Amino acid sequence: MDLEGITLPVLGDAARNGIDAAGLLEGARPESIYAHVPFCRHKCHYCDFYSVVDRRDRSGDFTIRFEEEARTAAGLIDSSAVRTVFVGGGTPTMLSPAELERVLKSIRLPAGEADLDEFTVEANPETVDEGIAAALFDSGVDRVSIGCQSFDPRHLQTLERHHDPDSVPRAIDRIREAGIERVSLDLIFGIPGSTLQDWERDLERALSLEPDHLSCYGLVFEPGTALDERRRRGRIEPIDDAIEAAMYQLTRERLREEGFGHYEVSNWARPGERSEHNLVYWNLGEWMAMGPAGAGNLRGVRYRNVPRLDDWLSSEGPSRIVDVERPQPSIARGERFMLGLRLRDGMPRGVVESLLRDDPGRRSMVEDLLEAGRLEWWQEGLRISEESLMTADEVLSRLV
């Protein structure tokens, strides 16, 4: 997976909690489906998503198993509420065009007959040829999210991200020529060794490609990643906090000038182009997960499918679930704040009031954060204040 998408913490053990996949899916009414395709050409050094390299020989088996999972899930869930599908990874566009088309068309079984509001697939730019673009369009995909991260070869090298920056405009052209209009780009700022001017160039280059949606994330050194290991060994230096804050400020100003709405801490969209799928995550709606390591949220249960490709391939029916958690009410309320406050429209006052009704500890924390100017009421919504956006994670962690 690149940058869109979210994973809530899942802690328990499925068997111990007495939850099996068929029991969880039966009769569930997800609004969304997330499907995980785990293949990557190379492991980027900042990435902590589940993906496998050098296993393309299994993509045919993956396709067959995925189709079986889709058929089984379709027989269990109530598809009538499904509005969005997001296929991430990994790199879904590493499949061959024929395999990709089979996988995407099989999702229509659990997604139901009705037209979807949004059908997004993630793509790495160097994998998008005419065949892949046609397979996406022919399968009903109406939005593609492209992981560019940077247009500067030096910074791509730091991330160990192997693509030619010129492959991004080529991929966009092919996607649009195939008939898909909605394009989102992922960018990363705060890469070690980068300057404010470098980031400005990246942002301008991205804008010149006329995306409808931009995700701009500050680089995170996720524990266990090769990038974090290089940092711990002193081989790379994180950039100065003040420069990173200036990069974020520049992003907000430039994208506002260009007519993008800032609708989530790290996401901007032209009018009508918000990611409907990610809004289901941020509003803690219900979504079903497919594929190895896919994470879902159904009936108040967070769960994750079996992560090892071979284990997933050798299982039958719906994906086996290995992690599951039914959070206590207080933790569930904390998650609701953690996600909802990221939205720039904020959390509606009625929702905030009902979440705080029996939670005096969190109520006083919210009041303290309001008084300190770190949260604010804006058009009847509670949100992170403009001044605290750069430290949003720290504010949110206090409410979880």
3-class DSSP string for 127-193: HCCHHHHHHHHHCCCCEEEEEEECCCHHHHHHCCCCCCCCHHHHHHHHHHHHCCCEEEEEEEECCCC
Q: Residue 378 Cβ, how far from ligand SF4 at the closest point, in Å?
A: 33
Q: Residue 90 Cβ, how far from ligand SF4 at the closest point, in Å?
A: 5
Q: Residue 53 Cβ, how far from ligand SF4 at the closest point, in Å?
A: 8
Q: Which residue has the tokens 């005419």?
A: 130
Q: Select from 21, 25, 33, 44 the one that contacts ligand SF4 (CB under 6 A).
A: 44
Of the pair 159, 269, the CB lying nearest ligand SF4 is at 159
Closest alpha carbon to 114 in 72, 73, 82, 78: 82
Q: Residue 354 Cβ, how far from ligand SF4 at the closest point, in Å?
A: 37
Residue 294 as a binder of ligand SF4 (CB under 6 A): the answer is: no
Q: Select from 30, 89, 292, 294 the one that contacts ligand SF4 (CB under 6 A).
A: 89
Contact 366, 356 (CB under 8 A): yes
Q: Residue 146 Cβ, how far from ligand SF4 at the closest point, in Å?
A: 11
Alpha-carbon torsion, ordered 383, 388, 390, 391, to 10 deg: -100
Residue 147 as a binder of ligand SF4 (CB under 6 A): the answer is: yes
Q: Select from 7, 72, 124, 145 the one that contacts ligand SF4 (CB under 6 A).
A: 124
CB count within 10 Å of CB 316 equals 9
Q: Which residue type is seen at 262? A: H
Using CB under 6 A, count the residues that bind ligand SF4.
Answer: 13
Q: Residue 217 Cβ, how far from ligand SF4 at the closest point, in Å?
A: 11
For 229, residues 6+ apart whose C-beta sits below 8 A from its C-beta are none
Q: Select from 32, 72, 84, 91 the one that contacts ligand SF4 (CB under 6 A).
A: 91
Contact 237, 206 (CB under 8 A): no
Residue 1 as a binder of ligand SF4 (CB under 6 A): the answer is: yes
Rule CB under 6 A: which residues touch ligand SF4?
A: 1-2, 40, 43-44, 47, 49, 51, 89-91, 124, 147
